[in-house]
Chains A and B, each alone.
Chain A
């Protein structure tokens, strides 16, 4: 969703956002390549060159085109549950669901049993899902407001 939104913002006002993105994850060579590919919208083409699979990467991508101080909701600390969601996903997708030191350190879950499968309750799954949904909702509202501001200015 974050990538989708980021690309849509670029497409909405490329004259504003492209210069900002240059030098912050996107270089001129990449931009020239993208502009030669007329089949894709420029936002989607650039999005494929940005990593947005972690909270930090999403924050960096949005900071590249919006003012950093306007994005307090993607900051860490303050979003420990979102980090836990990210780490849980990483553990389940790439580590066979087995708890390791990295998971314990990054989530701060000291009770998680190293070397054993991560236990997950319905309630916990709900909390983690809601953390992702809540940030998605806030990101949508933020970009809605920011794009409105670009129209007025």
Chain B
């Protein structure tokens, strides 16, 4: 499917997203202090790469979920805190309608699987009370810009 080949392309174009936590096994402070941080960072990087390479529908859903998670905005309008609210909202609406059309046309079943994963990431509070949900929302947008820029 289209996003599988796209994901493969990104993987082979230089992202070194793994920080090996196994490096920090020598006991003492490296294992107690550094390793947990390295593990969380590594996991976050994997999630971000996953999101960047996910289908458009998932990215848009991720943005909407970000809004829901923050509890500040209704679904689909997660960007109201932005000074460029109108502009961003137009962009979101455009990508949402485009993505949903694409999804409904061809990829319903597989896209549902991807959506479930992003729900796991966004809503099961793996990244509570810090900026990481924002990182994932950023990855959603990077994915959408890539889609828009190169026509995938």
The answer to whether B13 and A140 touch across the interface, beta carbons within 8 angstroms, is no
CB pair B33 A133 closer than 8 Å: no
A120/B33 contact (C-beta < 8 A), A4-B40, A94-B84, A125-B52 known = no
Query: How distant is B119 from chain A, measured CB to nearest CB, in Å?
Result: 21
On chain B, the residues within 8 Å of A95 by CB distance are 82-84, 87
Q: Which of A5, A93, A117, A126 contacts B13 (CB 8 A)?
A: A126
Question: A52–B143 Cα gap in the complex (Å)?
Answer: 24
For chain B, the bracket of interface size reads 35 or more
Give min CB distance, B48 to chain A, whole Å. Answer: 8
Q: Which of B23-31, B67-75, B102-110 contacts A (4 or more CB under 8 A)?
A: B23-31
Residues of A within 8 A of B48 (CB): 129
0/1 per residue, B139-152, Cβ < 8 Å to A? 00110011011100
- Please judge, given known A-B contacts A4-B37, A96-B87, whether A133 and B141 are in contact too, CB under 8 Å: no
Asked if A15 lies at the interface with its beta carbon under 8 angstroms from chain B, I say: no
Q: Are B41's CB and A93's CB within 8 A? A: no
B29, A93: Cβ atoms closer than 8 Å: no
B87 proximity list for chain A (CB < 8 A)? 95-96, 98
Measured CB to CB, the residues of A under 8 A from B are 1, 3-5, 8-9, 11-12, 53, 89, 92-98, 117-123, 125-127, 129-130, 133-134, 136-137, 140, 143-144, 147-148, 151
